[in-house]
Amino acid sequence: MTEPSTEIEVGLATHELVWVEGSDAITFLDSQVSQDVMGMAPGTVRRSLLLEPRGKLRAILWVLRDAARVGLVVAAPGASDLIADLARFRFRVKADLRRDERPVHTVWGTGAGDAKWRDDGTSLEADTPHYRLVASQENPDGRVLDAEDVTAHRIAVAEPRFGVEVDEGTIPQETGLVAESVSFTKGCYLGQELVARIDTRGHVNRMLRRLAGTGNPPPPGAAIAREKTAVGALASVAPIGEGWVGLALLRREAQPGDRVVVSWEGGEAAATVAGAPDARTGSSQFPNGSSR
């Protein structure tokens, strides 16, 4: 494994922040999302999912627990949809939904976080295992990244984006995020039945996988085949080092280490299905020799 870079890098306005406030805020949210919000200590940060009633995905979140309110960080521009989704099930509870006007930036190079957050009223900082989230009207210090570099960082930690790799048809277990985002010991929450049924009695036919290849990057949407059998399509791709990396939902037959062919109109490229990133830092040596 290559050691993570010590350079501070910044993705501007990558996320948005929604506050759930009021005397019923914590119990209401606990009934809506997959994380055990009631069991979180104030000041802590955890991943969570918002599901629709049938158990399919609606949003990927970071939960910021406070003593009497909860912050929800969602990839931009997801705040409006998040508020609308939560408002649909807000019956006879004292819980207000408010979007924080501060843009949320992503900062890499600060080291693995301790899953804590703090807010001085001007700047909110939330540490996750992979990066720091900073809600502020001022841009954080560091080298500002373009969209391709932000995507490369996201691919490095196998983080799907709603509307790109995953959507409202995605089963939570396909995302690879269930271990860190779902509590199987808390009370009922929206969409729980499907998640629990798959965990105890079944499996999913697709999984989010990273890919790596050499040469010029293929275009998003390129078909992916393993031993001449279609297994998925490339969702995100970014150049890195002497090659490229990508993210795709692939059929379960495509396992880490497998060679696949990525093809599109006018070209094709060989690639390797990469293993999971380092759980602590998100740093990983890809099969093409590049790293983040």
3-class SS string, the chain = CCCCCCCCEEEEEEEEEEEEECCCHHHHHHCCECCCCCCCCCCEEEEEEEECCCCCEEEEEEEEECCCEEEEEEECCCHHHHHHHHHCCCCCCCCEEEEEEEEEEEEECCCCCCCEEEECCCCEEEECCCCEEEECCCCCCCEECCHHHHHHHHHHCCCCCECCCECCCCCHHHHCCHHHHCCCCCCCCCCHHHHHHHHHHCCCCEEEEEEEEECCCCCCCCEEEECCEEEEECCEEEEECCEEEEEEEEECCCCCCCEEEEEECCEEEEEEEECCCCCCCCCCECCCCCEC
- pLDDT for residue 225 is more than 50: yes
Mean pLDDT of 150-156: 96
The band of 202, judged by pLDDT with boundaries at 50, 70 and 90, is confident
The two three-digit tokens of residue 170, written as one number = 């995605």
Which pLDDT score is estimated for 113? 66
The model's pTM:
0.92
pLDDT digits (tens, 9 = 90+) for 23-68: 999 999 999 999 999 999 999 999 999 999 999 999 999 999 999 9
Which pLDDT score is estimated for 286? 56
CB proximity list for 202: less than 8 A, separation 6 or greater: none
- pLDDT for residue 3 is more than 80: no
- pLDDT for residue 292 is more than 70: no
- pLDDT for residue 1 is more than 50: no
Residue 63 to residue 37: CA distance in whole angstroms: 8
The band of 276, judged by pLDDT with boundaries at 50, 70 and 90, is confident
Residue 41 to residue 2: CA distance in whole angstroms: 34
Domain ranges of the chain: 9-139+171-197, 206-274
Contact in structure between 154 and 161 (CB atoms under 8 Å)? yes
Q: What percent of the chain has pLDDT over 70?
A: 92
The two three-digit tokens of residue 160, written as one number = 């799907």
Which pLDDT score is estimated for 4? 42
- pLDDT for residue 84 is more than 80: yes
Q: How far is CA 230 from CA 44, 140, 227, 255, in A?
A: 42, 43, 8, 14
What is the CATH code of the structural domain delimited by 9-139+171-197? 3.30.1360.120
Mean pLDDT of 159-171: 97
Which class is 206-274 in CATH? mainly beta
- pLDDT for residue 193 is more than 90: yes
pLDDT digits (tens, 9 = 90+) for 226-256: 999 999 999 999 999 999 999 999 999 999 9
